[in-house]
Amino acid sequence: MLIESNADLSRLNTFCLQCTASQFGRFSSVAELLELWRASEASNLPMLPLGRGSNVLCPEHVEALIVQSAMTNVRLQRSTEQHAYVAVDAGVCWHDWVVASREYGFGLENLALIPGTVGAAPVQNIGAYGVEVGELIESVEFFQPSTGQLRRLNASECRFGYRDSIFKRELAGDAIIYRVVFRLERQFAPELSYGPLKELEDGLRSGQLTPAALVERVVEIRASKLPDPDKTPNVGSFFKNPVVPAALANQLQQQYPTMPVYPLADPEHCKLAAGWLIDQAGWKGKWLGPVAMHCQQALVMVSDGSASLADVWKLAAAVQDSVRQQFAVMLEPEPQLFGSYSRS
Ligand code: EPU
């Protein structure tokens, strides 16, 4: 097992931000992960995980031993009449797992083509088209550097929320996820309530809709508006959809009747579409130096490949200012600043 010093991470983050790390190593087994931990202890460096780097903003330098999983095993643990429990290693490419999952069960189809790895999926509770991964997770297995222990949390202990989990809070920077156990449905009963998927409801009723066809449709929808990180550097949605008091949402909707408003379980609050707000504020397709808000989905910041983190923050602040001035709504960035974790 090789530990690289002063490693270049600029090709290991999909925003292509220039970044170096004190040390970098890949692990192919839990034993190797423990070996890396001993090395991090010996060199007195914190140990931090990196997946595909598709949801992180990298600073110029991270003073840490960065570890990446090269474990790619998929194993059916057990099956009941309703569910299949499948243990998937953190290093598996997320989309490959979504495609392979139908051999075991269903439920992940709406999450097709999300960039990243299986190990990163629970951290921000990836979600799309009415499904969040936390709904299909049984447990998460991880190594905790601060205690040197291998741990396992069940789904309720992971405290999944909208783009949120314990791994972004108390365990931020202190959990190297090496395996996720999924609880898949044995019956194909997909969530089709999201706008563009509604058209598939007839096919579902007549028994024509297959899981593969649903995955294909989701891939088409995503590819039509979201830039491919392999071609255009980006980290997906740059801001979260803001949750605001219902009174503010009502007031704004009177002023802007076409504004999308999503009701929440809590009647006092509503969720707004950050992409719509940014679009209305005039930022869609607009460049500020080497970065822009994407011309087809204003919520996604893209780069020409030469941007620094300072350029990214400059555009983010300008967009936040415009949206705050026009709508009295503060947008919160969605990707995490790599290596700097606030333990809230
Ligand atoms: N909209 C505009 N202009 C834009 C972009 C969006 O008017 O430039 C409007 C759309 O017409 C729609 C609404 O805003 O009425 C919402 O847009 P969309 O359906 O594209 O979804 P989103 O809320 O912008 C969220 C997730 C995406 C996920 C989609 C589909 C967040 C932060 N983003 O985007 O997730 O794919 O819903 O479920 O929740 C990601 O997290 O990286 C991501 C891409």
**Mean pLDDT in residue range 242-252:** 97
Ligand 1 atom with minimal separation from the 293 CA: 8
* Pairing assessment for the beta strands 131-132 and 243-245 based on DSSP bridges: unpaired
% of the chain exceeding 90 in pLDDT:
97
Question: Which stretch of DSSP H or E encloses residue 316?
Answer: helix 309-327
Ligand 1 atom nearest to 110, measured from its CA: 38
Q: Domain 234-337 class?
A: alpha beta
pLDDT in tens, 118-155: 999 999 999 999 999 999 999 999 999 999 999 999 99
- The whole-number average pLDDT for the span 288-295 is 98
Q: How do residues 209-224 score in pLDDT, each as one tens digit? A: 999 999 999 999 999 9
**Cα four-point dihedral sign 8, 9, 11, 16:** negative
Given a contact cutoff of 8 angstroms between Cβ atoms, the answer to whether 51 and 33 are in contact is no
Spatial separation of the C-alpha atoms in residues 241 and 5, rounded to whole Å: 38
Which ligand 1 atom sits closest to the C-alpha of 239? 32
- pTM given for the model: 0.96
User: Whose CA is closest to atom 10 on ligand 1?
Assistant: 276
Contact 13, 58 (CB under 8 A): yes
Q: Give the closest residue (by CA) to ligand 1 atom 41.
A: 237
pLDDT (0 to 100) of residue 344: 36
pLDDT at site 341: 57
- Give the start-to-end residue ranges of the domains of the chain: 3-69, 74-225, 234-337
Active-site residue numbers? 163, 237, 334
Return the ligand 1 atom nearest residue 260 CA: 15
Specify the residue with its C-alpha closest to ligand 1, atom 23.
Answer: 273
Task: Return mean pLDDT, the chain.
Answer: 96
Closest protein CA for atom 7 of ligand 1:
276
Per CATH, domain 3-69 is 3.30.43.10: yes
Q: What is the pLDDT of residues 60-111, one digit of tens each?
A: 999 999 999 999 999 999 999 999 999 999 999 999 999 999 999 999 999 9
Evaluate if residue 245 carries a pLDDT over 70.
yes
| Amino acid identity for residue 58 in this structure | C
Question: Are 214 and 196 spatial neighbours (Cβ–Cβ below 8 Å)?
Answer: no
Give the confidence band of 58 by pLDDT, cuts at 50, 70, 90: very high
Nearest CA-CA partner of 218 in 97, 118, 98: 98
- Lining ligand 1 with CB less than 6 A are 128-129, 226, 236-237, 240-241, 260, 273, 275-276, 279, 284, 297-299, 334
The per-residue pLDDT for 255 is 97
Task: Give the Å distance between the CA of 323 and the centre of ligand 1.
Answer: 16
pLDDT confidence tier of residue 251, bands split at 50, 70 and 90:
very high
**How far apart are the C-alpha atoms of 132 and 299, rounded to whole Å?**
19
Cα of 138 vs centre of ligand 1, distance in Å, is 27
Mean pLDDT of the region 247-251: 97
- The answer to whether 140 touches 122, Cβ cutoff 8 Å, is yes
Express each pLDDT in 167-195 by its tens digit. 999 999 999 999 999 999 999 999 999 98
pLDDT of residue 343 exceeding 70, the answer is no
How far is residue 287's CA from residue 329's CA, in Å, rounded to a whole number?
A: 22
**Which of 14, 218, 237, 264 to mutate to test ligand 1, by most ligand atoms within 8 A of the CB atom?**
237
How many angstroms does the Cα of residue 299 sit away from the middle of ligand 1?
Answer: 7
Q: Which fold has domain 74-225?
A: 3.30.465
- Looking at residue 342, its pLDDT comes to 43
pLDDT computed for residue 195 by the predictor: 85
Q: How confident is the model at residue 304 (pLDDT cuts 50, 70, 90)?
A: very high
